[in-house]
């Protein structure tokens, strides 16, 4: 299994720091707070960057910090400290309490949905912990990826490959009695390269990540992938015909399906957006509270967010101490569940489904996705193709965006091919899907059986919180989508 | 900065040199940042973040590495120095590295420290309340945003005779106002409270929200677009990043291979200025301790040069522009030369015109070619005969960044400093009229 529960002999927390987290809670309560919680985070990381084959950056880091929230006279306060001594905590907390108290006269009265107090310890088991892998081996892994791009024999005009890892230990404590410890490793690869052919250039930027140790490299087979991607881009630049435009069938690969699920299902279903709490930052949502139960997609469209599956957005308890669970966001095209934290759940009159996350100790937990994906169907990839007389297969993409209500979105294909009579044929150049959310999800006709998850960093909040997520799905057939030519 | 933090930073530098470092930099920061976040006209959260840390860089035998020091005591500093030197020795050489700046330097003081920010609590809440009310008085139904203020102290020592210190304050205000299906967003940034135009921003956001109610779907096509400073800054932020030589080398710059050639219209001049008065990111020195200055990037449309640190400058046979970043040079504050026109005059020059007040989600298909799209959000209007007419929605700017800069026809005379959710580098810019901008929209 992915998860192992560890006993006291495996606990690697500094007890002094745990005590300080508990002290934060006590201090806030003793100064009038009606609720308090503290998150201690101890993180050790390394990072390496290879630019055009040169190791231009190598770094390691380790830190401990505490982020705490409290409710004072109904107002919500947040505090973050990285100098972990009692005097330092007391000074910062005292200032924070003062600001929050002053704000109470014009503050929203904070109410949290009930949550059972939890006591739990869990750690992700990994065969090759980031801390056990040498810097030499990590830089060798990077060199292998860089060499793979060159091995494509395509004309590569720039290469950028980075590798980073973190081991994150968290201790969560709140005034309702929850005490939760967790230990999670992360490994993250980002690459970008530019290919030139036929007097034009094209780029590929992508990310791989896992909540695991370095054993993840074995499953990724990145050398083959990078080499093949560089070759495919060169071929596309040299041979691609203009993408057809007009109403066509489109088969989108898991990378494209994943970004669609993330952007136009995950984000608009975040309850804090629906309530307007992120209006000045990541925006609001075309989905309203009363739209639960509304059908906006086809029967074949099923999307979930699930932190408990193996992915870059994995966790078992959220940053409010609520147990993680699968959220069925869209079921047979119907809006069936939103993403909640305890604050939005209280507003909606439901229980939190464990969607509160903070990217680091010094950020407040807000409603976030984890691993968001389209559920598999019962077609093989070949059967999906057989459904298409004339269409386009979009394997991956580069440019994409969506408006701040999550209704108007665009995806520009990178590696893409024409489909004729059920066969993938010649490459086509940058097909463009520019479509509304209901039109997109209503066009889903069938999905294949095999799901792929891809790692990403999702941005939300102010200050910006980039957080580890996965997104993905199977290959999906969209019937009668209007394609544009770049 | 507390004397003990400076003492530990200097001690750590000595430790690194004793352990054989050829070059070393210790850059200590201590900050206290506050935020009031509001939504639906009420405070949603207040935040206080106190942090201290030091970024530590070392070069040894042609290898380079970095770490951070978070606990300021001699034991931790000694341990960090030993670990960093050992880590560096285990790496492969970095042939791109060509050294750090040789000091010592004299630094002009960067104006804009506001001691009142150390105890702003009640005043900060009052400011938010006043601004929310100001937007509502214009007819806004709902408001959301943040007010942030903070103080930061820095101390930098290097193995090349640099010893530098500074303190600074900063303020940022952002308010989005909503009225039915209309919305407007404005921001303000400064280094002193007296220079922060928060109330003005709130009033303008409220006014835009009301004016932009009942938007209709506009047609796709080519429009003469007047970009408000907020929307123009979102685009220029990407130009600032593209001006770093690091972006050029890494394949993230649409200015690659274009030095000395036109990359914008003759109406457009832009520089980077680390010394800008009230500049949100103004700093007396860069991450090597080189005194910052004004660097011309685009002069009447022609790309004059890129942003460098000492190491990248040596490789490219030029001088540092005082924009270190020890790995990647970064812009400080982008400044666009002002034009001669009022906003109304820019509207008057627009044929088949569109006024875009805000954009977001700027994404590139290809950073080198500059092909990108971005989405207008908040108030957008058609312009007819020099007047704002119908509010519009559902648009997308689908363009090429260099082509767009070359189509700048005229600039306004009133500049605003913009820092925002999608504007990482502060930009001081007027509004801009850009001809024949390609606008697309979703099809069904």
Q: What are phi and psi of A210, to 5 degrees?
A: -150, 150
Output the furthest CA–CA distance in chain A (Å, rounded): 73
Q: Tell me the residues of chain A between 191 and 210 that have a Cβ less than 8 Å away from chain B.
A: 192-194, 200-203
Which of B96, B129, B363 comes nearest A400 by C-beta?
Answer: B363
Residue A358 pLDDT level (bands cut at 50, 70, 90): very high
Q: Does A76 touch chain B (CB under 8 A)?
A: yes
Hey, where are the domains in chain B? 3-211, 216-440
Q: How far is A65 from chain B (nearest CA, A)?
A: 9
Residue A5: its pLDDT value, please? 33
Q: Does A16 touch chain B (CB under 8 A)?
A: no
A vs B: CB pairs below 8 A: 260
Residue A16: its pLDDT value, please? 66
CA–CA dist B212, B181 (Å, integer): 8
| For testing contact with chain B, the best of A86, A149, A163, A279 (most B CBs within 10 A) | A279
| For testing contact with chain A, the best of B31, B44, B134 (most A CBs within 10 A) | B44
Please answer yes or no on whether B67 and A96 come within 8 Å at the CB atom.
no
CA–CA dist B175, B296 (Å, integer): 32
User: In chain A, which residues have their Cβ closer than 8 Å to the Cβ of B422?
Assistant: none
Residue A6: its pLDDT value, please? 35
User: In chain B, which residues have their Cβ closer than 8 Å to the Cβ of A58?
Assistant: 64-66, 87-88, 91
Q: pTM score, two decimals? A: 0.97
Please answer yes or no on whether A276 and B144 come within 8 Å at the CB atom.
yes
Residue B364: its pLDDT value, please? 97
Write down all domains in chain A, each with its CATH number in brackets: 3-239 (3.30.2290.10), 241-485 (no CATH)
Please answer yes or no on whether B128 and A106 come within 8 Å at the CB atom.
yes
Q: Does A439 touch chain B (CB under 8 A)?
A: yes
User: Considering only alpha carbons, which residue of chain B is nearest residue A94?
Assistant: B48
Please answer yes or no on whether A102 and B121 come within 8 Å at the CB atom.
yes
Please answer yes or no on whether A203 and B442 come within 8 Å at the CB atom.
no
Residue A8: its pLDDT value, please? 34
User: In chain A, which residues have their Cβ closer than 8 Å to the Cβ of B87?
Assistant: 58, 60, 135
Q: Give the CATH number of domain B3-211.
A: 3.30.2290.10
Q: Does A107 touch chain B (CB under 8 A)?
A: yes
User: Considering only alpha carbons, which residue of chain A is nearest residue B374?
Assistant: A401
| Per-residue pLDDT in tens (0 to 9) along chain B, 444 residues | 788 899 999 999 999 999 999 999 999 999 999 999 999 999 999 999 999 999 999 999 999 999 999 999 999 999 999 999 999 999 999 999 999 999 999 998 877 789 999 889 899 999 999 999 999 999 999 999 999 999 999 999 999 999 999 999 999 999 999 999 999 999 999 999 999 999 999 999 999 999 999 999 999 999 999 999 999 999 999 999 999 999 999 999 999 999 999 999 999 999 999 999 999 999 999 999 999 999 999 999 999 999 999 999 999 999 999 999 999 999 999 999 999 999 999 999 999 999 999 999 999 999 999 999 999 999 999 999 999 999 999 999 999 999 999 999 999 999 999 999 999 999 999 999 999 999 999 986
Please answer yes or no on whether B394 and A434 come within 8 Å at the CB atom.
no
pLDDT at A36 over 80: yes
Residue A2: its pLDDT value, please? 33
Residue B119: its pLDDT value, please? 86
First to last CA, chain B: 60
Please answer yes or no on whether A275 and B40 come within 8 Å at the CB atom.
yes
User: In chain B, which residues have their Cβ closer than 8 Å to the Cβ of A403?
Assistant: 361, 375, 377, 394
B206-252 pLDDT, tens per residue? Answer: 999 999 999 999 999 999 999 999 999 999 999 999 999 999 999 99
Please answer yes or no on whether B129 and A106 come within 8 Å at the CB atom.
yes
User: In chain B, which residues have their Cβ closer than 8 Å to the Cβ of A108?
Assistant: 39-40, 42-44
CB A456 within 8 A of CB A469: yes
A241-294 pLDDT, tens per residue? Answer: 999 999 999 999 999 999 999 999 999 999 999 999 999 999 999 999 999 999
Which of B144, B369, B373 comes nearest A280 by C-beta?
Answer: B144
SS (H, E, C) chain B: CCHHHHHHHHHHHHHHHHCCCCEEEEEEEEEEEEEEEEECCEEEEEEEEEEEEEEEEEEECCEEEEEEECCCCHHHHHHHHHHHHHHHHCCCCCCCCCCCCCCCCCCCCCCCCCHHHHHCHHHHHHHHHHHHHHHHHCCCCEEEEEEEEEEEEEEEEECCCCEEEEEEEEEEEEEEEEECCEEEEEEEEECCHHHCCHHHHHHHHHHHHHHCCCCEECCCEEEEEEECHHHHHHHHHHHHHHCEHHHHHHCCCCCCCCCCCECCCCCCCEEEECCCCCCCCCCCECCCCCECCEEEEEECCEECCCECCHHHHHHCCCCCCCCCCCCCCCCCCEEECCCCECHHHHHHHCCCEEEECCEEEEEEEECCCCEEEEEECCCEEEEECCEEEEEEECCEEEEEHHHHHHCEEEEECCCEEEEECCEEEEEEECCEEEEEEEEECCCC
User: In chain A, which residues have their Cβ closer than 8 Å to the Cβ of B122?
Assistant: 102
Quote ipTM for the complex.
Answer: 0.97
Q: Does A276 touch chain B (CB under 8 A)?
A: yes
Q: How far is A333 from chain B (nearest CA, A)?
A: 18
| For testing contact with chain B, the best of A70, A106, A267, A364 (most B CBs within 10 A) | A106
Residue A1: its pLDDT value, please? 28
User: In chain B, which residues have their Cβ closer than 8 Å to the Cβ of A64?
Assistant: 70
């Amino acid at each position: 299994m992915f998860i192992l529960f560890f006993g006291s002999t495996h606990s690697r927390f500094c007890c002094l720091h745990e005590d300080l987290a508990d002290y934060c809670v006590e201090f806030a309560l003793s100064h009038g707070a009606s609720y308090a919680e503290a998150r201690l985070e101890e993180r050790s990381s390394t990072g390496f960057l290879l630019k055009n084959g040169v190791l231009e950056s190598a770094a390691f880091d380790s830190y401990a910090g505490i982020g705490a929230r409290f409710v004072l006279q109904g107002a919500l306060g947040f505090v973050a400290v990285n100098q972990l001594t009692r005097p330092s905590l007391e000074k910062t907390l005292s200032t924070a309490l003062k600001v929050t108290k002053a704000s109470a006269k014009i503050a929203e009265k904070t109410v949290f949905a009930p949550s059972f107090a939890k006591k739990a310890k869990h750690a992700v088991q990994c065969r090759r912990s980031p801390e056990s892998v040498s810097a030499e081996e990590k830089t060798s892994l990077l060199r292998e990826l860089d060499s793979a791009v060159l091995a494509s024999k395509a004309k590569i005009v720039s290469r950028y490959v980075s590798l980073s890892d973190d081991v994150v230990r968290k201790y969560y404590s709140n005034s309702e009695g929850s005490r939760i410890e967790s230990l999670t490793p992360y490994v993250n690869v980002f690459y970008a390269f530019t290919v030139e052919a036929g007097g034009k250039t094209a780029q590929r930027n992508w990310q791989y990540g896992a909540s695991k140790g370095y054993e993840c490299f074995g499953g990724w087979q990145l050398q083959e992938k990078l080499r093949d991607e560089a070759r495919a881009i060169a071929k596309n630049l040299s041979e691609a015909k203009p993408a057809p435009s007009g109403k066509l069938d489109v088969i989108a690969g898991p990378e494209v399906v994943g970004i669609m699920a993330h952007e136009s299902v995950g984000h608009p279903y975040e309850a804090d957006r629906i309530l307007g709490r992120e209006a000045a930052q990541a925006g609001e949502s075309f989905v309203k509270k009363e739209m639960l139960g509304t059908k906006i997609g086809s029967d074949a469209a099923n999307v979930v967010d699930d932190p408990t599956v193996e992915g870059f957005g994995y966790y078992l308890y959220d940053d409010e101490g609520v147990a993680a669970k699968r959220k069925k966001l869209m079921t047979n095209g119907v809006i069936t569940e939103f993403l909640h934290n305890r604050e939005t759940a209280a507003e909606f009159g439901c229980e939190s489904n464990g969607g509160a996350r903070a990217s680091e100790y010094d950020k407040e937990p807000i409603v976030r996705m984890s691993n968001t994906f389209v559920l598999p169907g019962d077609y093989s990839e070949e059967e999906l193709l057989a459904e298409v007389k004339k269409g386009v297969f979009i394997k991956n993409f580069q440019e994409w965006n969506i408006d701040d209500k999550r209704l108007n979105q665009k995806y520009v294909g990178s590696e893409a091919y024409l489909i004729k009579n059920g066969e993938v044929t010649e490459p086509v150049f940058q097909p463009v899907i520019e479509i509304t959310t209901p039109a997109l999800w209503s066009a889903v006709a069938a999905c294949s059986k095999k799901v792929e998850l891809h790692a990403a960093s999702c941005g939300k909040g102010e200050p910006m919180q980039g957080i580890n997520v996965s997104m993905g799905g199977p290959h999906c057939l969209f019937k009668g989508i209007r394609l544009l030519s770049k | 900065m507390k004397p003990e933090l400076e003492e530990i930073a200097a001690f750590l530098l000595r430790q690194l040199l004793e352990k054989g470092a050829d070059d070393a930099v210790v850059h200590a920061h201590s900050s206290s940042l506050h935020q009031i976040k509001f939504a639906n006209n009420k405070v949603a959260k207040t935040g206080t973040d106190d942090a201290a840390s030091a970024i530590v860089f070392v070069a040894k035998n042609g290898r380079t590495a970095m770490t951070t020091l978070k606990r300021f005591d001699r034991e931790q500093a000694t341990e960090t120095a030993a670990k960093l030197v050992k880590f560096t020795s285990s790496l492969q050489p970095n042939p791109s590295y060509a050294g750090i700046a040789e000091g010592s330097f004299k630094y002009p003081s960067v104006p804009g420290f506001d001691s009142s920010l150390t105890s702003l609590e009640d005043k900060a809440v009052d400011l938010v309340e006043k601004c929310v009310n100001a937007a509502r008085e214009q007819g806004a139904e709902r408001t959301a945003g943040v007010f942030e203020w903070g103080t930061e102290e820095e101390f930098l020592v290097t193995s090349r005779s640099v010893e530098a210190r500074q303190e600074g304050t900063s303020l940022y205000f952002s308010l989005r106002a909503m009225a039915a299906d209309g919305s407007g967003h404005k921001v303000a940034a400064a280094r002193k409270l007296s220079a922060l135009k928060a109330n003005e921003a709130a009033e303008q956001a409220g006014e835009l929200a009301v004016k932009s109610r009942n938007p209709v779907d506009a047609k796709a096509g080519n429009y003469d677009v007047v970009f408000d400073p907020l929307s123009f800054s979102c685009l220029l932020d990407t130009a600032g990043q593209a001006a770093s030589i690091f972006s050029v080398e890494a394949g993230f710059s649409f200015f690659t291979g274009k030095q000395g050639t036109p990359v914008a219209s003759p109406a457009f001049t832009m520089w980077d200025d680390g010394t800008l008065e009230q500049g949100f990111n103004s700093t007396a020195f860069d991450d090597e301790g080189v005194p910052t200055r004004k660097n011309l990037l685009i002069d009447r449309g022609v790309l004059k040069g890129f942003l460098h640190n000492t190491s990248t400058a040596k490789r490219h046979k030029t001088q540092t522009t005082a924009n270190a970043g020890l790995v990647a040079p970064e812009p400080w504050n982008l400044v666009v030369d002002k034009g001669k026109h009022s906003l109304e005059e820019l509207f008057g020059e627009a044929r088949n015109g569109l006024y875009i007040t805000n954009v977001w989600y700027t994404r590139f298909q290809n950073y080198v070619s500059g092909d990108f799209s971005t989405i207008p959000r908040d108030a957008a209007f058609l312009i007819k005969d020099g007047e704002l007419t119908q509010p519009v929605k559902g648009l997308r700017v689908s363009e090429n960044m260099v082509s767009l800069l070359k189509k700048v026809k005229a600039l306004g005379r009133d500049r605003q400093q913009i820092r925002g959710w999608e504007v990482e580098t502060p930009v001081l810019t007027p509004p801009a009229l850009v001809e024949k901008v390609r606008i697309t929209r979703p099809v069904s």
